[in-house]
């Protein structure tokens, strides 16, 4: 028969160390899963924001050209629950300066910019060029 010492079970200190290690591992795994869940929500919101900005650009392209000065209605925006669309900002091509500005002359080329803001505060801007047909 073996000695009495070799037949004994684990000591109390060994059990405490094993439980402490298991606790550290579980806390680490839960923190990782929590950060993955937060990143997934943020990524979903950014993807939706990108989709809305691209849809807004296509919607602006589909509208008829509005010469300067624009009527009260101007270009229309899309809408989505929780997301804010800024009013379209229209600049006109000024060949004298070589850039877009609020010049009084209409040359048949507009730069329309729209900013979409997500509920969490992220935003994205799109710039669309529109040519008079």
Average pLDDT, integer, range 9-36: 93
Query: What would the 3-class secondary structure string for 107-130 be?
Result: CCEEEEEEEEECCCCCEEEEEEEE
Residue 117: closest CA among 45, 25, 58: 45
| Per-residue pLDDT reduced to its tens digit, 72-119 | 558 888 888 999 999 888 888 888 888 888 876 778 899 999 999 998
pLDDT surpasses 80 at 45: yes
Mean pLDDT value across the chain: 87
pTM of the predicted protein model: 0.70
Q: Can you give the pLDDT at residue 25?
A: 96
Residue 112: closest CA among 45, 50, 51, 66: 66
């Amino acid at each position: 028969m073996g000695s009495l010492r070799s037949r004994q079970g684990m000591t109390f200190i060994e059990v405490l160390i094993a439980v402490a290690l298991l606790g550290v591992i579980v806390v680490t795994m839960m923190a990782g899963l929590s950060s993955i869940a937060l990143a997934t929500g943020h990524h979903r919101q950014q993807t939706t924001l990108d989709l809305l900005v691209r849809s807004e650009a296509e919607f602006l392209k589909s509208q008829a050209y509005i010469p300067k000065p624009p009527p009260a209605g101007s270009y229309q925006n899309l809408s989505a629950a929780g997301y804010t669309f800024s009013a379209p900002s229209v600049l006109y091509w000024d060949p004298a300066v070589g850039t877009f500005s609020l010049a009084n002359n209409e040359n048949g080329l507009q730069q329309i910019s729209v900013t979409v803001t997500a509920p969490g505060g992220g935003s994205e801007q799109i710039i669309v060029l529109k040519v008079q047909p």
